[in-house]
Amino acid sequence: MPPTMRAYQIVEWGKPAQFNEIPIPRPGPGQILVKMAGAGLCHTDISILQSPAGFWPDPPFTIGHENAGRIAELGANVEGFAEGDGVLISSMYWCGHCDKCARGLHEQCRHIGLAGYGVGYDGGLAEYILIEAKHAIALGSLDPVRAAPLADAAATSYHAVKSMLPILVPGSTAVVTGVGGLGAYAVQYLATLSGTRIIALDTSQTRLNEATRLGAHEVYISDGECAEKIRDSTSGGADAVFDFVGTTPTLSTGMAALSQGGRLIVAGIGGGEIPIGWEKIAMNAGFINTRGFNLPDLNEIVSLARDDRIEMAATHFTFDDVESGLRALEDATVEGRAVVTFD
């Protein structure tokens, strides 16, 4: 193994990220060194790159939080893995020791903060990444390049959908707002794991056509009339609305589309605001902000992917061409997820 590697890093806020030659870290007890195979690009990466100082952890650090690869070296006391094994790396960073983690609620870890791989701790846009073994999920026969988006996009949407499965029985209706990366996964999970009727909303007819192919029963271009159309179509409103956009217009539409006792589940970070209170929301309805996922979620989606029960469409970019991938993501010209591949 060479002593150094290339890494795409933020070195100073307000300046472009850059490739640096840095030492390859060595795993300590309980750690794993992973040779990167695939790293998904996400709008969060763009937000981090464009952020001012003071919000995210201090640089320098390597970005990239949707990561998968093969184990290059194991630290002491790591069991259940071997060199060469393919692993998915959780983009959520949890302590594993607090009361929330003890109950499997890793997404609610009391010590999670904002830091994670690619968000303060060095991420996967490098030839190698050092991780805690507790954040590795065995891939078995699943290709790590194909698996990379499972580490965030697929897992976040799965956690949101899974939380609502008890109410999404046959005869119910679920709305998915924003059927790009996360929303496309949500449509698949709803079609695969529930008997609910699925309505998809988006500003792009192309994405709506894809949502239909993935299992949506009805699709509408997002506009000011969507809520009324949904209420008319469902005789009173949807049982669950999953908002993967999170702007004020989409939140308003989602809230107006709810039935009595319905749930608005918001995973999008569009920064929207809406009033909530008496006569502002359907009776007995609820509003849930959802963030992240837990270890059982990751194991379950890896199983779904390995059994070919979900599709993972992606556009690939070489590591040398990572900036083209970020531009394509920002310009919305990526089909599926943008994934950086390594030799």
With a cut of 70, say whether residue 178 has pLDDT above it.
yes
Q: Which of the 8 DSSP states describes residue 216? A: -
Q: pLDDT, tens digit, for every residue of 212-266?
A: 999 999 999 998 889 999 999 998 999 999 999 999 999 999 999 999 999 999 9
What mean pLDDT is reported for the chain? 93
Class of CATH domain 156-289: alpha beta
pLDDT value of position 81 = 98
The boundaries of every CATH 3.40.50.720 domain in the chain are: 156-289
Architecture of domain 4-151+313-341: Alpha-Beta Complex (3.90)
- 95-142, pLDDT tens digit by residue? 888 999 999 888 888 887 667 899 888 999 999 999 999 999 999 999
pLDDT in tens, 286-301: 888 888 899 999 999 9
Three-state helix/strand/coil letters over 156-200: HHHHHHHHHHHHCCCCCEEEEECCCHHHHHHHHHHHHHCCCEEEE
Enter the tokens of residue 119: 């968000």
Task: Return d(Cα 147, Cα 336) in angstroms, integer.
Answer: 13
Comma-separated ranges of CATH 3.90.180.10 domains in the chain: 4-151+313-341
Least confident piece of the model among 8-12, 84-88, 271-275, 278-282 = 278-282
